Homo-oligomer: A and B are copies of this chain.
């Protein structure tokens, strides 16, 4: 619950969230074609019509579950606590740590696996990444006070999130803390991937 919102908006958020949770769970258990919107609303305890007020399809509801709930206060905090000599890359790195928690990555893997099974989901998982990228763009813009006008922030934010896309189709197999390499052959730890990414960014390709 975000206390910055009015009670009304808190309830709206809660409703959307309940619907998205129900949709994601049903998708995991039954597959995208194993449930209908009526099932979602039954599980979330709202009317069929209300679902349509929030989402235009099941896929959108599932994706909503992944739309970042990092508040703008979190971002304010982040910017305030950076070292005085921090670079834009440092700011970006901090944000990535905030966004890609182990828990988020764990669920994202489930979502990605669903999306590979049900192509109708693919466009919607991309929109999750887009949302994250826009937040990064915003943070970079604030951090640099609009100092760069040549697309630097666009490019930097784009680079990082673009590089995550291979997670989606399993070409990049992320190993989470607590998992062993034997369980997931060919996997790379997220931190390791992130670090090699930032090496390239710092030093050029």
Q: What is the CA–CA distance of A190 and B106 in the complex, to the nearest angstrom? A: 38
Is A151 within 8 A of B120, CB to CB? no
Is B120 within 8 A of A123, CB to CB? no
User: Which residues of B sit under 8 angstroms from A124, Cβ to Cβ?
Assistant: 123
Q: Give the contacts of A165-187 with B (CB-CB under 8 A).
A: 165-166, 171-172
Mark the stretch among A1-9, A37-45, A73-81, A153-161 that contacts chain B. A153-161
What is the size, in residues, of chain A's interface with B at 8 Å between Cβ atoms? 41
User: Which residues of B sit under 8 angstroms from A166, Cβ to Cβ?
Assistant: 137, 151, 154, 158
Q: What is the CA–CA distance of A120 and B133 in the complex, to the nearest angstrom? A: 19
Is B196 within 8 A of A150, CB to CB? yes
- For A123, the closest partner residue in chain B by CB is B123
Contact mask for chain A residues 30-70; partner B; CB cutoff 8 A; 1 contact, 0 none:
00000000000000000000000000100000010000000
Is B123 within 8 A of A197, CB to CB? no
Q: How many copies does the complex hold?
A: 2
Is A160 within 8 A of B163, CB to CB? no
Q: What is the CA–CA distance of A124 and B125 in the complex, to the nearest angstrom? A: 11
Q: What is the CA–CA distance of A159 and B158 in the complex, to the nearest angstrom? A: 6
Q: Give the contacts of A78-127 with B (CB-CB under 8 A).
A: 88-89, 120, 122-124, 126-127
Is B159 within 8 A of A155, CB to CB? yes
User: Which residues of B sit under 8 angstroms from A188, Cβ to Cβ?
Assistant: 151
The 8 closest A-B pairs by CB, nearest first: A162-B162, A158-B162, A123-B123, A159-B159, A158-B163, A126-B126, A204-B204, A155-B163
14 pairs from A and B in contact (CB 8 Å cutoff): A63-B123, A126-B126, A126-B127, A152-B205, A154-B171, A155-B159, A158-B159, A158-B162, A158-B163, A159-B160, A159-B163, A162-B163, A201-B204, A202-B205
